[in-house]
Amino acid sequence: MLRSLEIGKRALLLSQRGLDVTSNNIANVNTPGYARQMLMTRPGEAIPVGGDRLGMGVLSAGIRHFRDQLLDRDLRAYTSRLSYYQQDDALLQRIEAALGEPGEITIQTALQNFFDAASTLATNPASMSNRQLFVARAADLASTFNRTGSALEQLRTSSFERLTSNVSRVNQLLSALAETNQRIAGTLNTSGTPDSSLVDRQSQLLDELSRYVDITVRREPTGTATVISKGAMLVSENTALTLAVTRSLDSTSGETTIGLTLQKNDGTSVGSFSPASGELASLVHHYNVTLNPLTTSNEFSIARELDKLASTFAEHVNTIAATGFGLNDTGSSPPGRAIFASTSSGPIRATTLSVLPALVADPALVPTSSQAGTPGNNDIIRAIADVASDGAFLDSLTPEGYYASITTRLAELGARTTDKVTTTKTVLEQVTNEREAFGGVNLDEEATNLITYQRAFEAAARVISVTSDMLATLVNLGR
């Protein structure tokens, strides 16, 4: 009789634990990184009774944690890639905005306005209003280059700032992972199984870390996670390395580049670190290549291309202008006056392009004629206007053609990146769904479990009640 009571008690306790697990699942239905749990049961070991073996009810076989390491690995790999492409996409969008493309106020329209003004001036080079218009258009063109160049510089600066802030977050995550490792190892030592909430927390941290860098996770027998990226052990047991951003200046070329280094806790450097994907990789790449005007990389650099266009354009126009005479120039040899200059002592770049201040002050100085004292002569200004159709201007293209080649490359890059974002997003969604299907909480399922455990609990209680009644009957037999 007492055996039945024991069996009932075991069933009661197990149903109660089942309800606890179900409640915990329901409570964490929206918790990111949470993997559902399930109470596993096994029949109690049978004991010999008479000539038979009698079962001893139900016992817990532990709580199963629905986490699949392969799915986790895939999810993190795609998260890294998606973050890389999304960062690329966002930056390319901002570059398009800096160029004003597609729109009305762009370098192309400024170039067209400049050539329009040159052409108008060629119809009447003696006209002061035409000269003023030409100087104003040249200044507009210079300011459009300046504005675009500065916007790209600003974008480069904000890439650096974003990288610094991301590195700081990565360091927090690495440190939190080391701490979680330590706690997991502690619970394992105490209870023999790792704390599932800590494992969930660890998984959450790893998921977030994969947004910044591509990582590989190795599960140790102690329950801890060793985080590896590009061969470097970022986290091992309770030790984490820290990332640092380094900026270096090439004194010969003046080029500034950035890189990442790994350091130990005592500040000693472990070596350089170049992630292949994740936000950090994208930001470093754009700082060092896409937005770097002095890069020697074969890859596309919008800043370098823009500088090339600005300097070649100024050079072409200035070379022609140097052979011309202004409205009031006299003498047989031209004064060698330029149209464009640099606002700094260095070479002409997109950010430094400007109109010769003397021309702004006195548009009569604009060289338009190939002969002094002939204000109607338009040979020079016509040659300047002709630069618009110069098919050998740069890389066998006209100025507008070269600008078109820049925007086309940018468009192709943007489209390719958008495609990559879409594709990777789809794959990531699929992997997320698979992980969710395996480890996510289904409320209907949990409601069913709720009923199951409730009914089991009621039945077990009934067993105890009946056994109790039977015991009472036995006790009262002697009265």
Q: Pick the closer one to another protein by CB: 268 or 330.
A: 330
Q: Decide: is 382 part of the binding site for another protein (CB under 8 A).
A: yes
Does residue number 374 form part of the binding site for another protein (CB under 8 A)?
yes
**Any idea what DSSP says for residue 364?**
G
Kindly compute the dihedral angle of the four CA atoms of residues 380, 382, 384, 390, in this order, to the nearest 10 degrees: -130
Walk across the sheet containing 269-273 and list its strands.
242-249, 256-263, 269-273
Q: By CB under 8 A, tell whether 441 contacts another protein.
A: yes
Smallest distance, Å, CB 277 to another protein? 20
Q: Do residues 369 and 320 lie in contact, with contact meaning Cβ atoms separated by under 8 Å?
A: no
Asked if 440 is part of the footprint of another protein (rule: CB under 8 A), the reply reads yes
Q: Which stretch binds another protein (CB under 8 A): 115-123, 177-185, 277-285, 353-361?
A: 115-123
Taking the complex as a whole, the smallest distance from the CB of residue 99 to another protein amounts, in Å, to 8
Instruction: Pick one of 122, 281, 320, 394: the residue that binds another protein (CB under 8 A).
Output: 122
- Amino acid in position 450: L
The CB-of-445 to another protein minimum distance in angstroms stands at 8
Q: Are 57 and 10 in contact (CB under 8 A)?
A: yes
> Closest separation between CB of residue 280 and another protein, Å?
24
Q: Is 323 in the site for another protein (CB under 8 A)?
A: no
Q: Does 30 bind another protein (CB under 8 A)?
A: yes
CB 353 within 8 A of CB 142: yes
DSSP classification of residue 372: T
Is residue 410 at the binding interface for another protein, with CB under 8 A as the rule?
Answer: yes
Q: Can you name the residues that pair with 49 across neighbouring β-strands? A: 52
CA-CA distance, 391 to 95, in Å (whole number)?
A: 27
Q: How many residues bind another protein (CB under 8 A)?
A: 65
**DSSP letter string over 393-414?**
SBTTB-HHHHHHHHHHHHHHHH
Q: Quick one: 159 or 417, whose CB is closer to another protein?
A: 417
Q: State the minimum distance, in angstroms, from the CB of residue 78 to another protein.
A: 15
User: Which residues, 205 to 234, sit near another protein by CB under 8 A?
Assistant: none
* Closest to another protein by CB, 174 or 303: 303
Q: Which of 175, 379, 332, 184 is nearest to 263 (CA)?
A: 175
* Residue 429 interacting with another protein (CB under 8 A): yes
Q: Which stretch binds another protein (CB under 8 A): 209-217, 263-271, 335-343, 444-452?
A: 444-452
Residue number with CB closer to another protein (429 or 458): 429
Between residues 385 and 464, which has the closer beta carbon with respect to another protein?
385
Q: Is 22 in the site for another protein (CB under 8 A)?
A: no
**Of 69, 123, 274, 296, the one binding another protein by CB under 8 A:** 123
Helix extents (H) in 28-127:
69-99, 107-123
d(CA 134, CA 113): 9
Is there binding between residue 102 and another protein (CB under 8 A)?
yes
What is each CA distance from 32 to 207, 365, 439, 440, 473, in whole angstroms? 10, 70, 11, 10, 55
Sign of the Cα pseudo-torsion (9, 15, 19, 22, in order): positive
- Least distance CB 68 / another protein (angstroms): 13
Query: Nearer to another protein by C-beta: 246 or 448?
Result: 448
The burial of 239, by beta-carbon neighbours within 10 Å (0-12 exposed, 13-18 middle, 19 or more buried), is given as: middle
Query: Which are the contacts of 408, defined by CB distance < 8 A and separation ≥ 6?
Result: none
Q: Which residues bind another protein (CB under 8 A)?
A: 29-30, 92-93, 96, 101-102, 108, 112, 115-116, 119-120, 122-124, 126-127, 327-328, 369, 371, 373-378, 382, 385-386, 388-389, 398, 400-401, 403-405, 407-408, 410-415, 417-418, 429, 432-433, 436-438, 440-445, 447-448, 450-451
